[in-house]
Amino acid sequence: MIRYILKKFVIMLVSLFFLVTTTFVLMNAIPGSPLQSEKATSEAVQKNLEAYYGLDKPMIEQYGIYLKNLVQGDLGISMKKKFQAVDKIIKESFPYSLKLGIASVITSIVVGCLLGILAAMHHRKFIDNFAMVIAVIGLSIPSLVMAPLLQYSLAVKIRAFEVAGLNGPLDYVLPTIALSAASIAFIARLIRSTMIEVLNSDFIKTAKAKGLAGHWIVWRHALRNSMLPVVTFLGYLTAGVITGSVVIEKIFAIPGLGKFFVQSVSDRDYPLIMGITIFYAVLLMVCRFLADIAYVLVDPRMRAGGKGK
């Protein structure tokens, strides 16, 4: 296992290097610069600025400097948010995204699994259709519409919740609903489709024949095997949801990572773009890695094979 983890780690580092390079090139290829503003600045001022941020050096040298600093764990300083360290910006904004993300992932899994199991157990009956309709409705309304509607109806008209911010536990309700609606549906459908398959498979039939009670079959055998695709999906869902939904962060005025990322791209704030991209990538890779391990643990076939991939 240690060998496996070590190998994974090296691969991650290599991927990360490629990612850093690609992003660096792409970022510099986009028109615009962090130093431009609507009102033109004189050439002298522009030169001062470029010199200050090292943008007057050739690109390859800038890249070298960045890599060197990165290896030392220095993500640099934002060019637009004057003198705020990139790692500090991430450290401050990520907890908002994380907390909201965790709330949404848990909600998605719990509600999604419940709907999925319910549907699979009553396959082709009314409950199946009903559960799926509910799930699919959540998926059908874009967050662009759902979030403002929730905000207007529940926070402005009824005033049951706050319009914006994440100050108390109640404030999580609206953004969590908006953020998890789509993944609830995804998980519910995934669970349902694999579970129907599993429920029809031989080992379940054997379990039934052995006289195991219905719900016990579901919990002990079927669900476990149906979780497989969900686990794969979860790695991405977690990373995706944690790094935040730009739309929801904007509408509910949540100072999460997503907001900073979009801003950094439109500001052409090179160090911040790099920093958040790297952070996002590492997060994604770690989640993937954990999902891989979970995959091995969950899938009995994989375990039997013992190859662990």
Partner 1 sequence: MNFKKVLSSAMVLTLAGSLLAACSNNNGNNNAASPDTGASPGASASAPANNAPQEFRFTLASEPPSLDPALMTDAQSSIVASGLFDGLTRLNSAGEPEPAIATKWDVSEDGKTYTFHLRDDAKWSNGDPVTAQDFEYSWKRALDPATASEYAYMLFYLENGEKFNAGEITDASQVGVKAIDEHTLEAKLISNTPYFVSLVAHYTYAPVNKNAVDGKPAWAAEASTIVSNGPYLLKEWAHGDKLVLEKNPNYYNAANVSFTKATISLVEDESTVFNLFETDKIDWIGAQAGSVPSDQVPGLVKEGKAEIKEIASTYYYLFNTKEKPFNNAKIRKAFSMAINRQAIIDNVTKANQTPAFGLVPASIAGVDGKGYRELYPDTGFGSENVEEAKKLLAEGLKEEGMTAIPATTLLYNTSEGHKAIAEAIVDMWRQNLGVEMKLSNQEWGTFLETRDAGQFNVARAGWGADFNHAINFTYDLIHPKSLNNDGKYENAEVGKLLDEAVVAADEKTRIDLIAKAEKIAMQDDTAVLPIYYYTTVTMKKDGFEDVVSDYAGHLDWAFGKKTK
Partner 2 sequence: MNNDTNRGSIRPEQFQKIDRSNYVFERIERKRLTAWQDIRYRLVSNKLAMTGFYIMCVVLLFAIFAPMISPHDHFTNDLPNANQAPSWQHLFGTDDLGRDMFERTWKGAQISLFVGFAAALIDLIIGIIYGGIMGYYGGKVDEAMNRFAEIIYAIPHLLVTILLLVVMEPSLTTIIVAMSITGWINMAWIVRGQIMQLKNQEYALASKALGAGAMRIIFRHLIPNAMGPILVTLTLTVPSAIFTEAFLSFLGLGVQSPVASWGTMINDGVKSMTLYPWRLMFPALFLSLMMFAFNVFGDGLRDAFDPKLKK
Q: Which chain residues interact with partner 2 by CB under 8 A?
A: 11, 14-15, 18-19, 22-23, 26-27, 29-31, 123-124, 129, 132-133, 136-137, 139-142, 144-145, 148-149, 152, 185-186, 189-190, 192-194, 196-197, 200-201, 228-229, 232, 236, 246-247, 261-262, 265, 273, 276-277, 280-281, 284-285, 288, 301, 309
Binding mask 248-277 for partner 1 (x = CB under 8 A): --xxxx-x---xx--x--xxx---------
- Among the listed residues 44, 60, 71, 209, the single contact to partner 1 using CB under 8 A: 44
Instruction: Report yes or no: 274 and 75 within 8 Å, Cβ to Cβ.
Output: yes
Site for partner 1 in 221-250 (CB under 8 A): 250
**Smallest distance from the beta carbon of 66 to partner 1, in angstroms?**
19
Q: Tell me whether residue 29 or residue 40 sits nearer to partner 2 (CB atom).
A: 29
Q: Residue 275: name the closest of 8, 18, 23 by CA.
A: 23
Among 10, 29, 40, 71, binds partner 1 (CB under 8 A): 40
Residue 198 token pair: 């599993």
- Verify binding: residue 54, partner 1, rule CB under 8 A: no
Q: For the CB of residue 41, give the shortest distance to partner 2 in the complex, in Å.
A: 23
Whether the Cβ atoms of residue 239 and residue 277 lie closer than 8 Å to each other: no
Task: Choose among partner 1, partner 2, none what residue 59 binds, the Cβ cut-off being 5 to 8 Å by kind.
Answer: none
Return the percent helix, strand and coil in the chain, to nearest 5: 75, 0, 20
Minimum gap (Å) between residue 229 Cβ and partner 2: 6
Give kind and range of the element (H or E) at residue 86: helix 86-121
Paired strand residues for 77: 85
Q: How far out from the chain centre does Cα 172 lie?
A: 17
Paired tokens of 171: 């404030």
**Residue in the structure block whose two tokens are 């949404």:** 104
Burial of 266: CB neighbours in 10 Å, binned 0-12, 13-18, 19+? exposed
If one asks whether residue 30 binds partner 1 (CB under 8 A), the answer comes out as yes
